[in-house]
Chain A
Amino acid sequence: MKVTIARAHENLFSGEAESLTLPLSEGVATILPHHEPFVSTLSAGKVTVRSAEGEKVFDVESGVLEVSNNQATVIL
């Protein structure tokens, strides 16, 4: 699954990942590869990306998640 996490002035993460855990407005959720097309908003919390190189954690306040075509995009 290709994951892109971008803040307005910097690109935080871009690349292949095994899973993506984020604090959605309806509760914490983990997105796995081949998730159905999905759009949601983020609430404050931690976003965790697990990839071959290990785990990366980012603090977020708000944002939007979009998943489609085995590709997840998070803009903060």
Chain B
Amino acid sequence: MSLKDIKVKIKSVNRTRKVTKAMEAVSAVKMRKSQIRALSGRPYVSSALSILERLSPSLKKVSHPLTQSREVSKAALVVVTSDKGLCGALNGAVLKEASKVAKNYALPKEDIQVYAFGKKAGEYFEREGYTLHQRFDNVSDEVSIEDYSHISESLVEGFMLGAFDRVDVVYTTFRSTFEQKAVSHQVLPLSMDSFQAMVKTFVSEDTFLTEREHYTPPAFYTVEPSPEGVLKTLIPKLVSVIVLHALLESKASEHSARMVAMKNASDKSRDLSKSLTRTFNKARQAVITREVSEIVGGIEAMAVD
């Protein structure tokens, strides 16, 4: 490479670094906000689970249409990804998990309805030839209450009417800034196990959860007005909270993943620019050395005469 080429390359690497650094800073701020939001939703989920857990002995005899499993001939899949890329393996992992879940149904593609939350999910499932029931944009940094209540209402309605017999959600769970994991949970028919599995993905340092552990439920509850009445209020809430939880956690994961990806990119470009500068200096020194030796050679040639 000539001196000029190297110089151009150094400049372009530095420019890239400026962009990635800015994105890193922006993501860091968004990450903090969305992390707080994701964590603030957890007490609700834990409380809902503990109510369900403690009630389950007394509620055994009662059933609710949303908890009854039937033979699966049609399924719905809610996939939560981001709208924009540049966030490492985040979306790839979610889509991989989602295709695995879709394959496990062992149903023809037209019997699987996909609720795609985020552009990446929409594009992917369209390409794969699935029926997109509905697609949502995931641009805003805040999870809108309308969106999630819309999804959960539509899921509950579809399940009740028999439009699908099983609903799963695939999203990224937020463990820490450096660790996010794509997970899938069964939403409908609602079962204790799937709800428990979801709560298990929470960080174990969560104080709320540790407090809860040393606790044995009372043998008997007074239930008013009736167990059916309680379930009727509680279960639709649980469905919507699973959806909301998936959206919040995915948001926090997205920003964290992007910040880490951008940090790696900035670090890498710093290294690259350093090594390019070294090459540049070496090349410049080589030119100077050659010129000096030419001059010295010339003087010596003249001195002989």
Contacts and interface: CB of A to CB of B under 8 A. Distances in A.
A35 B37 CA distance: 32
A7 B223 CA distance: 22
A68 B221 contact: yes
Contacts, number: 86
B124 interface: no
Interface residues of A, number: 26
Nearest to A2: B211
A42 B51 CA distance: 14
How would you classify the secondary structure of chain B's contact residues: helix, strand, loop or mixed?
A: helix
Interface in A1-47: 4, 6-11, 14, 24-26, 36-42
B44 A39 contact: no
Nearest to B223: A39
A37 B222 CA distance: 6
Contact of A4 (B37, B47, B220): B47
Nearest to B149: A8
A6 B44 contact: yes
A68 B44 CA distance: 17
B222 A36 contact: yes
A65 to B, nearest CB: 9
Interface of A: 4, 6-11, 14, 24-26, 36-42, 62-64, 66, 68-69, 73, 75
Given A9-B143, A66-B50, A69-B218, 16 more contacts: A6-B47, A8-B237, A8-B241, A8-B244, A9-B248, A10-B40, A25-B225, A38-B224, A39-B51, A40-B230, A41-B233, A41-B234, A64-B234, A68-B54, A73-B50, A75-B51
Interface of B: 37, 40-41, 43-44, 47-48, 50-51, 54-55, 143, 145, 215, 217-218, 220-225, 229-230, 232-234, 237, 240-241, 244, 248
14 contacts: A4-B43, A6-B47, A7-B44, A8-B44, A8-B237, A9-B41, A24-B224, A38-B223, A40-B224, A64-B51, A64-B230, A64-B233, A66-B55, A68-B217
Query: What are the 9 closest A-B residue pairs judged by CB atoms, nearest first?
Result: A6-B44, A37-B218, A40-B224, A66-B51, A41-B233, A37-B221, A73-B47, A39-B223, A38-B222
